[in-house]
Chain A
Amino acid sequence: MEYFIQQLVNGITLGSIYGLIAIGYTMVYGIIGMINFAHGDIFMIGAFVALISFIIFGLTGVALPVILLLVLLIAMLFTACYGWTVEKLAYKPLRGSFRLAPLISALGMSIVLQNYVQVAQGARVKPMQPLISGGLEFFKNSEFIVTVSYLQIFIVILTIILMGIFTYLITKTDLGRAQRACEQDRTMTALLGINVDRTISITFIIGSSLASVAGMMFVLYYGVIDFYIGFLAGIKAFTAAVLGGIGSLPGAMLGGLLIGLIETFWAGYVSLEYKDVAAFSVLIVVLIFFPTGFLGKPDIEKV
């Protein structure tokens, strides 16, 4: 039982990270209907920016909460630039082209970003000393002590805060309304005087910022990153988005949590080596029974 609770805590933490990345996929898919393959690499760049800023601020000796806040803002800002540029260079010229074109362009962009970081930062893994240590211990009398580290609490709380802000942004503001309108009908939205290009750019900026937060969490949680982390995290987050129903924002978060939980439980109870297989197998099984994911709208083809 204690072991189960420990896995649950770890799973929720991992799930928060996947969920934040998955939102970027699902938003982009919702608005322009493409799989943004470079999104995983945007997450990786976010992790690198966070790592670099951690090192810089680590030397100054500022208090930890200030460092965390500053790094968060810096990572969001710089990574958003990447998201914006990638959209401008690789996807915008292809809008209205046939379905596979932006996908190939995104694949190319993903290869470029990965190798660019490899050239600029070196191919070796980058270790970082843990910044937030310690934690709460539960069930001290039993054999297995459940530890909830402060870092895990930080990650989950930060995710909840961001999700709150994000939900407010999408449901209550003009920006969110424009965004949802673009998802439904881009031509009509343009006719009603909304700047569609700008809305799409903002979608990419929001998605990249959330991915960069996930990147920062990844650096803190695992303590090592390299230029290749974006690939696996990216496809798992995409799997999460599909699992929850692509295009649905609560679905992305739910899917992220599910993938995180499945992965940790599989690693804890079945086998560590095959934990990556678990996520994909579950995806295949789920799609057979729920072809549009858990929270996706059934999509009816009209002739």
Chain B
Amino acid sequence: MEKKDIIQSFKDSLFTGLIALALFGPIVGLRTASKGEGLFITPQWGVVFLLVGLCILGRFLINLNSARKTEITFFSKFSSKFSAITEDKAKHFAITAILFAVVFPFLPFTDRYFMDVAIMILTYIMLGWGLNIVVGLAGLLDLGYVAFYAVGAYSYALIATTFGWSFWICLPLAGVFAAFFGILLGFPVLRLRGDYLAIVTLGFGEIIRIILINWYEVTNGPDGITGIPRPSFFGLPFKRSPDEGETSFHLFFNLEYSTMHRIIFLYYLILVLALITNYFTLKIRKLPVGRAWEALREDEIACKSLGVNPTNTKLTAFAIGAMFGGFAGSFFATRQAFISPESFTFIESAIIVAIVVLGGMGSQTGVVLASIFLIGITEMFRDLEQYRMIAFGGAMVLIMVFKPKGILANRKPTILMHGDKK
């Protein structure tokens, strides 16, 4: 490297430092805190200088090695190899993953915490697969998917607490309700183009949340609904001491009582629900309606001229996606036994969309990887409560910058013409 280059990159780093100072100076350096009446400022210049120093150093190192380029090639090489492997061995990969998921609760290192995280990841996988029908297959950007999740959760909670019906009756009902809401929203707005649709669905998500907060008589407002019945194992509840005339799970199978039984049951429940979603998606992709979705995503005008009704086709995708969101919502309600509007904010929608897009749109395996990665990151930073969302958002930006098509960016046609097999 020549001397001129070094001086050049040094200047560049100093400029970066100047910008960093402008960025961090006021917001980090002058922390406002209320004392008595009014606000006062506590300077924190140490942190600012540390951050600015890091920026200068980082920029200088990047310039020096032009590390960024090698990093990109390394990253894309790695991931393209990775997606090639998963594509070739898709079946093996899927079977291994499912087997691992099945034995996971009985592995020696699995404890309560791992199970909770696994259940959460599976919930997001299911939501991701549900949204993948809308975003990945039909190409409709839905930023309010959490609305259907909320509708599912609330309809399950309300039906179960009011009528006392069992989980297995409420679950399909919740799905039907969510699908109904999907149609209700979809009918007027689905003729809009991509970005307009995005903002309208976002607005719809907010409308549902505001209604949940304010409609005290039904939803109990911000306090939420408590005492949602737990699911039972085909009529056998998970209780230490069952009520009169009832047999509980551990007595029936002659096991010692443990709270883990219920957790493991919930784990398998969400696993089965998620796999049903996946199976359904894989099957429907091969049906005429699934093909119409993918065709619409690629070229709407061509579809219209071939006699596909875009609005109805999109509406089915929207309703089916919403239905799976509703299923996931009722699972969420029964797992938590408590729901409040706070669980259904826009950030949830953003996370689900991020999972679908980061995984590579339309890729079922990608959704799994992205869920594990994103939820894993937030769990890793759990001790640093405040920083975990920064890490989460940062990861979203970084993946997009380095791998804009998602982790698994294979958009293989679902069907091939005869003799077209590679």
CB of B408, distance to nearest CB on chain A (Å): 15
Task: Return the CB mask of A97-127 against B: 1 if under 8 Å, else 0.
Answer: 1111111110111111111111111101011
Can you spell out 24 A-B residue pairs with CB atoms less than 8 angstroms apart?
A: A35-B198, A52-B26, A55-B32, A81-B22, A82-B23, A94-B404, A101-B404, A104-B353, A105-B400, A108-B397, A111-B396, A112-B397, A114-B389, A121-B32, A235-B199, A235-B202, A273-B213, A277-B207, A277-B211, A280-B204, A284-B204, A287-B196, A291-B191, A303-B301
Also in contact, A276 and B22, with CB within 8 A (given A118-B386, A122-B33, A283-B203) = no
CB nearest to A296 among chain B residues: B196
For residue B390, CB closer than 8 A to chain A, the reply is yes
A127 touches B396 (CB 8 A): no
Choose from A77, A97, A108 the contact partner of B354 (Cβ within 8 Å): A108
Given A52-B26, A119-B386, A280-B204, A242–B33 Cβ distance below 8 Å? no
B350 touching A98, Cβ below 8 Å:
no
Which chain A positions have C-beta within 8 A of B214?
Answer: 273-274
List residues of B whose CB falls within 8 A of some A CB. 19, 22-23, 25-28, 30-34, 38-41, 141, 188-189, 191-196, 198-200, 202-204, 206-207, 210-211, 213-214, 301, 346-347, 350, 353-354, 357-358, 361, 386-387, 389-390, 392-397, 400-401, 404-405
Chain A 22-48: CB-based contact to B (< 8 A → 1; otherwise 0): 000000010000010000000001001
A115-B393, A274-B214 given; name 18 further pairs at CB < 8 Å. A35-B198, A85-B23, A97-B404, A99-B194, A101-B400, A101-B405, A104-B396, A108-B397, A110-B393, A111-B392, A116-B27, A118-B386, A121-B27, A126-B32, A277-B207, A280-B206, A283-B200, A284-B200
Give the CA-CA distance A277 to B210 in the complex, in Å.
7
Given A108-B354, A120-B27, A235-B206, A287 and B386 contact (CB-CB distance below 8 Å) = no
CA of A276 to CA of B389 in the docked complex: distance in angstroms? 26
A188 within 8 A of B: no
B105 CB → nearest A CB, Å: 32
Contacting residue for B397 out of A105, A277, A287, CB 8 A? A105
Which A243-298 residues have C-beta < 8 A from chain B?
A: 246, 273-274, 276-277, 279-281, 283-284, 287-288, 291
Residue positions of A touching B, CB distance < 8 A: 29, 35, 45, 48-49, 51-53, 55-56, 77-78, 81-82, 84-85, 89-90, 93-94, 97-105, 107-122, 124, 126-129, 231, 235, 238-239, 242, 246, 273-274, 276-277, 279-281, 283-284, 287-288, 291, 299, 301, 303
Q: How far is the CA of A194 from the CA of B347 in the complex (A)?
A: 39
Is the CB–CB distance between A81 and B19 below 8 Å? yes
Whole-angstrom CA separation of A35 from B200 in the bound complex: 13
In contact, B387 and A119 (Cβ under 8 angstroms): yes
Interchain CB contact under 8 A, B27 and A100: no
- CB B412 to nearest CB in A, in angstroms, measures 16
- Taking a contact as CB atoms under 8 Å apart, the answer to whether B395 and A108 are in contact is yes
Smallest CB separation, B190 vs chain A (Å): 11
Are A56's CB and B39's CB within 8 A?
no
Contacts A81-B22, A104-B400 given; indicate if A112 touches B38 (C-beta within 8 A).
no
What's the least CB distance linking A21 to chain B, in Å?
A: 14
- Nearest Cβ distance between residue B319 and chain A, in whole angstroms? 18
Inter-subunit contact B203/A235 (CB<8 Å): yes
Write out the residue numbers on chain B whose beta carbons fall within 8 Å of the beta carbon of A283.
199-200, 203
Task: Please name all residues of chain B whose beta carbon is closer than 8 Å to the beta carbon of A299 when the two chains form the complex.
Answer: 193
Cα–Cα distance between A223 and B34 once the two chains are bound (Å): 14
- Contacts A89-B397, A111-B393, A120-B28; A288 near B188 (Cβ below 8 A): yes
CA A72 to CA B109, docked complex, whole Å: 58
Q: Is the CB of B31 within 8 A of A120?
A: yes
